A and B are shown apart, each in its own frame.
Chain A
Amino acid sequence: EVQLLESGGGLVQPGGSLRLSCAASGFSFSSYAMSWVRQAPGKGLEWVSAISGSGGRTYYADSVKGRFTISRDNSKNTLFLQMKSLRAEDTAVYYCAKDIVVAANSYYFDYWGQGTLVTVSS
């Protein structure tokens, strides 16, 4: 059974930093790209960042480029999101998700974690 368990959320002041983790189990972690997707309170879903299975390629939404860093430790089956220079608009539930990429025209998420809440406020 695939399981994704996020942790590391909490309250942080504007301009501060936070590191999220996602512990994965039930599948060959290093064989799959992984993503972070966030959802602001009462709002829709927004893709944040993705990383290839090897960790050699990373991708970011324009809204977080230069402030967030995605990484992974395949020896520990863990995905990370380092967030810096946090803003009020980064307040959201952050989900980690397992990516599926098929034939270069199909990109989606087949499993999601339960999410961790990040609140940026003074």
Chain B
Amino acid sequence: QSVLTQPPSVSGAPGQRVTISCTGSSSNIGAGYDVHWYQQLPGTAPQLLIYDNNNRPSGVPDRFSGSKSGTSASLAITGLQAEDEADYYCQSYDSGLSGYVFGTGTKVTVL
């Protein structure tokens, strides 16, 4: 059902760097639509984490960064902290579907 593909899970020790990939196609990311990322803490609503590929809303730590290239994007978390344990979703727009599309979601575990 999800149009954008993410790894189901990633993990790392406190202080480490982890990355989450988001793979799309020529009708969404590859068509030039920007990629955005959301963090969903357990039992809560999603929150905007990164917008327009690599911009952080006010209040988001600079440990979070995003990038985009071709038909893919990625989210990096440096200096991993226990509070970063959450589900992360990428999101873009798809011209073929004429609607918003989400990634499959990635669970980040802090070891």
Contacts and interface: CB of A to CB of B under 8 A. Distances in A.
A106 B33 contact: yes
B2 A105 contact: no
B103 interface: yes
A59 interface: yes
Contacts of B38: 45, 109
Q: Which of B34, B36, B92, B99 has the most CB of A within 10 A?
A: B99
Contacts of A95: 45-46
Interface stretch (B15-23, B47-55, B77-85): B47-55
Contacts, number: 72
A51 interface: no
Interface of A (DSSP majority class)? strand
Interface string A82-95: 00000000000001
Contacts of B72: none
Q: Which of A105, A111, A114 has the most CB of B within 10 A?
A: A105
Contacts of B93: 105, 107
Interface residues of B, number: 28
Interface string A34-60: 010100000011110010000000011
Interface of B: 1-2, 32-34, 36, 38, 44-48, 51-52, 57, 89, 91-93, 97-105
Given A37-B100, A61-B97, A114-B45, 7 more contacts: A45-B46, A45-B89, A46-B2, A59-B99, A105-B33, A106-B33, A112-B47
13 contacts: A44-B103, A61-B97, A102-B52, A106-B33, A106-B51, A106-B52, A108-B36, A109-B38, A109-B91, A111-B48, A112-B47, A114-B45, A115-B45
